[in-house]
Structure 1
Amino acid sequence: MRLNRITKVGGAVLALALTAAGCGSSRSGDAVTGTDGDKPSASTSAFGDLPSPCGPGSAKGATGQGVTDTEIKIGYGDDRGFTAAPGLGEENGDAIDAMIKWCNEQGGILGRKITGTRYDAALTNAASVVQKACASDFMLVGQGFAYDEASEPIRVGCDLPTVPSYTVGPNANMGPDKFEPVPFPVDRYNASGLAQALELVPEFKESPTMVLSDSPPVQAASAKVATVLGQLGVKVKDCGISMSQNGEANYVPFAQKFKDCGASALWTSNGPIPSQMGLFEALGRVGAKPPKVVESQWYSEVASQWNSKSGAADGLITALYFQPFENAEKVPAVKQYLDLVRADGGKPATLGMSAASAFLLWATAAKGCGDGLTRDCVTKALSEVHEWTGGGLHAPTDPGGNLPSSCALVVRLDGGTWKQVSPETQGEFACDKSKVVELDPKLSGVKLNGDRLSTAFLKN
């Protein structure tokens, strides 16, 4: 069970639109400097359990593109201008807006203030956006572009390092000079969440089936989960339930097919989109109420608000690698993230926590470079980070090695409320290195070299 790269491109973009665009801010300013003169409070000396990388200093030197004596220029952004889903992914940009201000109020990074350009890739313009960043920015930090596969050859071609909130395209996922706070490489899978689900839902061990889709990305994600379940000793039953990503006129025949098949539980690699909600409601109408285990993008207001009225997903569980917002009083980093973003008028979401973690990862490496703030210095520092939690926002990961966490927690949805159910102690993750499963990169259509880098866009 994985973030599924937060979402997938193609037919599954609607899932991201629903989970990411529902109630975001409408701000569209391009430049953020955060130099409003406010003095930092005592709480800004750290972010969660991470010492703040920001503060006054005397670092100097125009070391390269985007760095001067007084300024560090970064690029970031989202797909908020996508006309079919206005606000798409804007949580990424909202989080970086807030983090830039938070950092600059403390004095920037060793005295250099951060200037950010918030790009809008509008889903299909990622390539042109990255071309602009190539010409002006020091690095890309905390961005999330759903069509990053199209922009990856441009990024690699201009030697622009990136610390993204997330990646979508498999080649972008395995690209050079790319350091994600929560990696999901194509050749590794964190099955800790699936393992916990198997213990929580005994029916999931018996003969579960999958809701398949005509969306190639969802098909690929389902194939990976089926492979991982097989390695955990679970055989997925083929009930032939495949639905249009754009929805169906009637969901009852699909629900009846599930009931007649006799599967013990249900998995979907899709998010909380109309086709999935329609199926879940139809299952109740035909008298079938199977346990439901789903991808983590179900953890959203879209799902909880819908279920508070329908109840069709009561008992649904999903694994998370980020702390749920419900744990904010137990996890200082989560509360701090929520406070910062809300104070800046932004929209909190798991996407935003990932962006905030990316900013902190980048800023920590940049601080260590001091006067010698170059791309080479920062990427070398990032490559040496092998345990990272974003101050407590998420489970420990290995950004430097592009390796996933071996930890997860599981939440359950009842009515409109999410609650952590595994481990029992709120705010804790369950970790098991033996549950990190190796996968064939060919499942994602990627060829890797000896350094586990995609060969698609590498220079000769």
Structure 2
Amino acid sequence: MSQPRGRRTTLLPVLVLLLVGVLAACGSRIHPETVAQLEGGSVAVPGQAEGGTAAGAVGGDTTGTPGSSPLPGAPGAVPEAGAPLAETDRTGGGETGSDGGATAPTGENAAGGGGAAGGCEGFANQTGITDTTITIANASDISGPVPGLFQAGQDAVRAYAAYFNATSDVCGRKLEVLQLDSRTDAAADQLAYTKACDEAFAAVGSMSAFDSGGAATAQGCGLPDLRAAAASLERSRCATCFGALSLKANEFENAVPDWVMANYPDAAKKAAYVWINAGAVPANANYQADAMEKRGLDFIIRQGIDISEFNYAPYVQELKDAGVEYVQFLGSSSHSVRMAQAMQQQGYKPDLFMMSQPMYEQGYISQAGEAAEGTHIFITHVPFEEASTNPEVSLYLAWLQQASPGAEPTSYGLFAWSAARLFVEQATALGGKLTRPALIASLKQVKDWTANDAHGPQNVGAKRTGECWRFIKVEGGRWTAAGARDYSCRGTTVVPE
């Protein structure tokens, strides 16, 4: 069943085209305010006053919502009782003052970034900017084969805009979010970006599995497109497009193979890479396997599985027969559940079962049950279970729940939040010099971006894969740290396209 190591050089990154089949369809959810139709108009941030001026905290109320998380940065917000966020609690938390009320974060965690603001002299209204608002667009896959595929990214941008509008402004302007649906379709992505070009100053936190469609459109109109991540080679090559999660398909972090070699040296020599045949996944899996072999691993099996395949038993049997001790899997959360359960049913337990960042979901554990035990994932951000150790991640969780109650945090949601923060910090610093060309020029200089240590350093301007990663695993039915909680930063390896 092993397949040749063929390439698909026209498709890029990584971890995004995992719309395969039903991604986390079980956890997919469309926010009632965000049944975003492509033809639809601007959707103001919750709490926005009629006429487009943001009125304050989410929902137009700064007193907090009964049963909700406290909102750092929302004046008068009522904190929940109890200790700071504990492990496995993903609802977020906030700082509290001596009087028991929530305090607005200051310094780097402030909504505006806490840095020096540029002077507002000369600030000019332009496309997407009025006397009172700056419109940012978010074009993400909301409808399509997997409803709500990248809803988390749009929710995160709405959440950050609400946080910002409650406490800050850019030269008197509040943020307004133009919510667009790229519909898991390249043509729809192109149409969404045509609308963004005409109505928004910039696009922020977008995430689409087929984002090649809007790449030329964004570049053609000079639209700054600060995405959660780029999903296609075309998008990565777009001169006005950047990712808060910086990725390059044929560049892989050394931290992963080095960790495997150090902790599972025997298994590293009997490795298999298994992936789902969809979009860029086969190309990315082979890029990663090539890079890891340069660091000492030996993939004796490279195997793709069709999306429509439900019987994974023959594939697992092949791994058993070959004596594979390390299995690396690239697909969706639902497909990884299928793989884990097939291994359990076949009585096959390799020394190490590893998955990549997009499969870090609570739904994987709840669906796979005992079969999930021992699963490892490499990630480049603070796990949500450790949010109490990082004020920025805690802010994301708290404001996400206020903007979209019941929403599950995701890795791409966190990077969409990160993109929104980076946009705000750049716009604030530019002040009266804020224009589309000035923002693009400034983004090209951004390196080692961490969103206040919410994630590992990202090469936003250079558009290269970040080198710092860490590891988590399923233990006792929950995500826990695998070894040190520090990032391992060991450079990257580039392989031929």
TM-score tier after normalising by the smaller chain length? 0.7 to 0.9
Report the Cα distance in structure 2 between the residues aligned to 1:234 and 1:19, rounded to whole angstroms: 33
SS in 2 for 1:116: strand
Report the Cα distance in structure 2 between the residues aligned to 1:164 and 1:143, rounded to whole angstroms: 5
Report the Cα distance in structure 2 between the residues aligned to 1:26 and 1:81, rounded to whole angstroms: 13
SS in 1 for 2:373: coil
Query: Would the alpha carbon gap of residues 221 and 417 (structure 1) be closer, same or farther in structure 2, given more than 3 Å must change?
Result: same
CA contact (8 A) 2:139 2:189 kept: no
Shift of 1:16: 7.0
- Say yes or no: does 1:209 pair with 2:255: no
**2:331 corresponds to:** 270
**1:70 corresponds to:** 132
Residues 427-446 of structure 1 mapped to structure 2, 5 A cutoff: 428-433=486-491, 436-440=492-496, 442=497
Query: Would the alpha carbon gap of residues 282 and 185 (structure 1) be closer, same or farther in structure 2, given more than 3 Å must change?
Result: closer
Deviating runs (4+, > 6 A) in structure 1?
A: 53-57
Query: How high is the TM-score relative to the length of structure 1?
Result: 0.85
Report the Cα distance in structure 2 between the residues aligned to 1:100 and 1:43, rounded to whole angstroms: 15
SS in 2 for 1:323: coil
- Say yes or no: does 1:221 pair with 2:279: no
Residues 379-398 of structure 1 mapped to structure 2, 5 A cutoff: 379-398=440-459
Report the Cα distance in structure 2 between the residues aligned to 1:55 and 1:44, rounded to whole angstroms: 17
**2:215 corresponds to:** 152
**1:406 corresponds to:** 467
CA contact (8 A) 2:253 2:467 kept: yes
- Say yes or no: does 1:181 pair with 2:244: yes
Residues 4-153 of structure 1 mapped to structure 2, 5 A cutoff: 5-8=14-17, 12-14=18-20, 17-18=23-24, 21-23=27-29, 25-28=31-34, 30-33=42-45, 34=48, 35-38=54-57, 40-41=74-75, 42-46=103-107, 48=109, 51-52=113-114, 61-82=123-144, 84-124=145-185, 125-153=188-216
- Say yes or no: does 1:254 pair with 2:315: yes
**2:306 corresponds to:** 244
Opposite residue 319 of structure 1, the aligned amino acid is F
Structure 2: where are the runs of 5+ without partners?
1-11, 37-41, 49-53, 63-73, 76-102
Deviations 1:144-171 (A, max 9, x none): 1221111212222222121011111112
Deviations 1:260-290 (A, max 9, x none): 111222111222224x433332323333211
CA contact (8 A) 2:446 2:460 kept: yes
Opposite residue 23 of structure 2, the aligned amino acid is A
Query: Would the alpha carbon gap of residues 4 and 269 (structure 1) be closer, same or farther in structure 2, given more than 3 Å must change?
Result: farther
Report the Cα distance in structure 1 between the residues aligned to 2:109 and 2:373, rounded to whole angstroms: 32
**2:430 corresponds to:** 369
Opposite residue 195 of structure 1, the aligned amino acid is D
Opposite residue 156 of structure 2, the aligned amino acid is A
Report the Cα distance in structure 2 between the residues aligned to 1:69 and 1:372, rounded to whole angstroms: 15
Opposite residue 316 of structure 1, the aligned amino acid is T
Report the Cα distance in structure 2 between the residues aligned to 1:20 and 1:6, rounded to whole angstroms: 19
Query: Would the alpha carbon gap of residues 395 and 149 (structure 1) be closer, same or farther in structure 2, given more than 3 Å must change?
Result: same
Query: Would the alpha carbon gap of residues 49 and 268 (structure 1) be closer, same or farther in structure 2, given more than 3 Å must change?
Result: farther
Choose which of 341, 346, 355 in structure 2 pairs with 1:286. 346
SS in 2 for 1:149: coil
Report the Cα distance in structure 2 between the residues aligned to 1:363 and 1:57, rounded to whole angstroms: 15
Deviations 1:104-135 (A, max 9, x none): 12232132112220111111211111111111
Q: Quick check: 201-210 or 151-160, which moved more? A: 201-210
Query: Would the alpha carbon gap of residues 66 and 194 (structure 1) be closer, same or farther in structure 2, given more than 3 Å must change?
Result: same
Query: Would the alpha carbon gap of residues 285 and 31 (structure 1) be closer, same or farther in structure 2, given more than 3 Å must change?
Result: closer
Report the Cα distance in structure 2 between the residues aligned to 1:58 and 1:14, rounded to whole angstroms: 47
Query: Would the alpha carbon gap of residues 241 and 5 (structure 1) be closer, same or farther in structure 2, given more than 3 Å must change?
Result: closer
Query: Would the alpha carbon gap of residues 360 and 321 (structure 1) be closer, same or farther in structure 2, given more than 3 Å must change?
Result: same
Query: Would the alpha carbon gap of residues 285 and 116 (structure 1) be closer, same or farther in structure 2, given more than 3 Å must change?
Result: closer
Q: Quick check: 148-157 or 40-49, which moved more? A: 40-49
SS in 1 for 2:328: strand
Report the Cα distance in structure 2 between the residues aligned to 1:96 and 1:57, rounded to whole angstroms: 26
Query: Would the alpha carbon gap of residues 358 and 212 (structure 1) be closer, same or farther in structure 2, given more than 3 Å must change?
Result: closer
Structure 1: where are the runs of 5+ without partners?
443-460
Query: Would the alpha carbon gap of residues 191 and 382 (structure 1) be closer, same or farther in structure 2, given more than 3 Å must change?
Result: same
SS in 1 for 2:460: coil
Opposite residue 65 of structure 1, the aligned amino acid is T
| Percent of matched pairs sharing the same residue | 20
Deviations 1:62-89 (A, max 9, x none): 343122333212111321122x322221
Report the Cα distance in structure 2 between the residues aligned to 1:71 and 1:227, rounded to whole angstroms: 48
* Number of residue pairs matched by the alignment: 425
CA contact (8 A) 1:59 1:110 kept: no
Query: Would the alpha carbon gap of residues 438 and 19 (structure 1) be closer, same or farther in structure 2, given more than 3 Å must change?
Result: farther
CA RMSD of aligned residues (A): 2.6
Query: Would the alpha carbon gap of residues 55 and 31 (structure 1) be closer, same or farther in structure 2, given more than 3 Å must change?
Result: farther
Opposite residue 320 of structure 1, the aligned amino acid is I
